[in-house]
Structure 1
Amino acid sequence: MDSVLKVEYKMNINKSKMRIMVCSRIKSGDAEGIRLGNETLKVVKQFCYLGSKITDDDGSREDIKCRLAVARKAFLKKRNLLTSSLDLSVRKSFLKVFVWSVAMYGSETWTINSLDQKRIEAFEVWCCRRMLKIRWVDHIINKEVLNRIGEKRNLWHNLTRRGDWLAGHVLRHQGITNLVLEGSVEGKNHRGRPRDEYTEQIQKDVGCSMFLEMKELAQDRVAWRAARNQSVLKTKTTVLIQ
């Protein structure tokens, strides 16, 4: 590995910072013997890259938990401002600037299942309760909290819209990001229920039943934006009915 990096790519690697991570369900142990010079590189199960937590299961759950924890900390830092006597509309604007921007960092690439969605929605209600100074002993349901603050799950809607925007942009252009999105992995599916896929998540958001249908829709910016907005509107209607 040392000769390949230096001769072919002319790269100098910092051995103390270099880590190896294998994203696979099958733990073969082949990565344990990778050496750089005279040192064996350390194999890790997760690491932080550009503020996002990447894990060896190639999922988004740990990154979502990490982002929500950091956003919760950001809320507590601005607690005096967000729970002050300022007008509620002003405090909601501060919430989106100081807290939601932290929570949604890198969310365009998340693959979110129902459990992760509940976790994200719970965080939004957590923020609303503290802004309104509602204690858990008051026994006020989440629907009433959202009515008092005048919100309708906007954090989840904004997160979905960001993911749809990125997918449409990638599908309209050719490059390595498009190759990653459309590429396939060799091998067979493992036994058990298959995991949620990123492309299937976007297909559901824009109302497409097949990937080719979604790709053709993405070529038209206006049609893609309309499908995306219709999906958000449908989700809001479902929340109101519930």
Structure 2
Amino acid sequence: MKVKTRKGGTVSIEGEDIEEVDQFTYLGSIMDRNGGTDADIRTRISKARQAFAMLKPVWKSTAFTENTKIRIFNTNVKSVLFYGAETWRLTAGEPAIKQLKRRTWQWIGHTLRKPVGSITRQALEWNPQGHRRPGRPFHSWRRSRRKELEEIGYTWSEAKRIAQNRVRWKATVAALCSTRNEED
């Protein structure tokens, strides 16, 4: 949607010329020349972060139950984030979960290329001994990544070897993040 497609000509209301701008705020939402919502979404995310940060004492407090904190989050953070969301245009961009998965695997490859003594590589490859207490989830972050590798026929050892070649790793990440492997 284009708001105005040609330059020139001025708009006047009661004899007063209206300035032409690239974007403006109307009823709390940012409107831009091309009808895009990216600036508005970025602003909403920023405002939600600020609201979340202002409630830091609540999050740290032991006086509130988890359910109360969730209700506070929903009313004070989510409402700020989603204000005006019904007017945002839908795009065919990459889904957030897929983008997160891709970036995770890119980071893993980057970390596996680091020297063995690197603290981040040690943290990635660390395998704590012992058993989880009853009630704790069986699947850890690393076990979930290992399962994703197994779905495309690789082991963790093979992934470490492949990560040394950036071109092959990029292809592996693409295979890990392809839509046919998604279980949404």
TM range (shorter): 0.3 to 0.5
Which structure has the larger Rg over C-alpha atoms? 2
Q: Quick check: which one's helix share is greater?
A: 1
